[in-house]
Structure 1
Amino acid sequence: MGRAVARANAIRFHGHEPHSHDVPHLVYLVSGTGKLDVDGRTVLLRAHQSAWLAADVEHSLELSDDGMALGPFLDPGAVPPGGRTRILGQMRDLDDLMLVLLCVAPESDEERNPFRSAIEQVLRAVTREQFPLTLPEHPVAHAIALEAPYFDGTLSELAQRHFTSVRHVQRLFLDETGLPFARWRTRARLNVAIVNLRAGQGMRTAMLESGYTTKHGLLKAVSRECGLPLEELLSAPQRTVELLDEAA
């Protein structure tokens, strides 16, 4: 029905061609599914899932026949972790907020601003990093730091890709971050994994996004770095975020 009668808000039912915005933007699926083309990949969003986009990120959205989407603009400072795009699973707090947004249908910036602030608070809460990490300033070490959490290979392979030696990388990381490279990389990977878990993405997605090949390997790293009993994590992996919050 929405497709048939919508005029002013037809984009919510039909999707849109490639474009970008000069402020950060949230694409939220109210119902159905949507194929979001962004950053050179196609992401299938299901009802109550969303994509948090930075300013000037080109994207397009194709909705299913029963699909409906909302696309609230955010404040200029509401940039997703990583600076460009963050795909988010279902979050109860965001669902409740979007339901209120639909009912209120704000028409002015004065009415929209409280929603923008509330949406950003929810997004920040689910994407906060478990371990604050210092990025090395040396150009080569900095480039390796950006790649290390997602690269499947060894430090030796990373060093070769950046035309340097393993020993040089290890020395730079220890001098500039205060952590050995191996521990820095583990914590960076756990940041990625835990952010995905907080965003409702599930254990498998958290593994894939953070470079872990097994659930046991990921939970063992969580146990070691966060001081949680491995047996408890393995017996109830779905409670990982809850256990982290309880231990904080």
Structure 2
Amino acid sequence: MQSHARGHLVYAAGGVLAVHTEQGTSIVPANRVAWTPAGFTHHHRAHGDTDMRIVFLAPSLARLVPDRPAVFLASGLAREVLLALTGPRNDEDAGPGYGPAARSRLLRVLVDELREAPEQPLHLPEPRDDRLRAVARILHETPAENATLAALGRTIGASTRTLSRLFHDELGMTFYEWRTQLRVHHALVLLAEGHDTLRIASACGWANPSSFIAAFTAVIGTTPGRYRTGHRSHAGVSPSPSVAGPSD
């Protein structure tokens, strides 16, 4: 676990990243960018052969993006800027790189692109209530668990009405929305590890591959097959994982 004085953006040029904060977990697949504001305790976890790129933002730019963890869809321009800011030209051993003025211009373009980008439903909020945490623990350990909320409530000693209210008030979504989000997170990890659609559908609790594909597409915006193919093509970029430091 760590925290930084400045907020940072994380992009996976290859593989899948998970960013964990006290507010929950963000999954960062290809073409998504995760934002963690300054001061948030967090840690990163890589799944698959991951090429992680990190860009820190100065306060003057950080104030233009949300003051909470978020995931954005990365436009083609945003992606190229991220790669430029963390690519070989930023390696001290590779010769002259971007000067401060050029880096400032690139960072402003990046932030402008993110401000126009839609936020992605890839942040899974972490419950604080002990009853919700008990439910979450069961589902994290066994994503394929298909028990109803009433059945889970009986297991932990809470009524369906109470749990439904807590999901709505504390997490801002229904139990079924939260569980679907959890399953899609798990599916992205399994895709990064190379598992096929049939195996993933079963491991994540969908009745069949068609149901999995429909749910995955609704959240990610593309089918698992297209996602896997596109992710492999993105992984072909120059594998020079690095960190772009802060700049005003």
Normalised-by-shorter TM-score class: 0.3 to 0.5
Indicate the structure whose relative CO is greater, using CA pairs within 8 Å and at least 6 residues apart: 2
Which structure has the bigger radius of gyration? Answer: 1
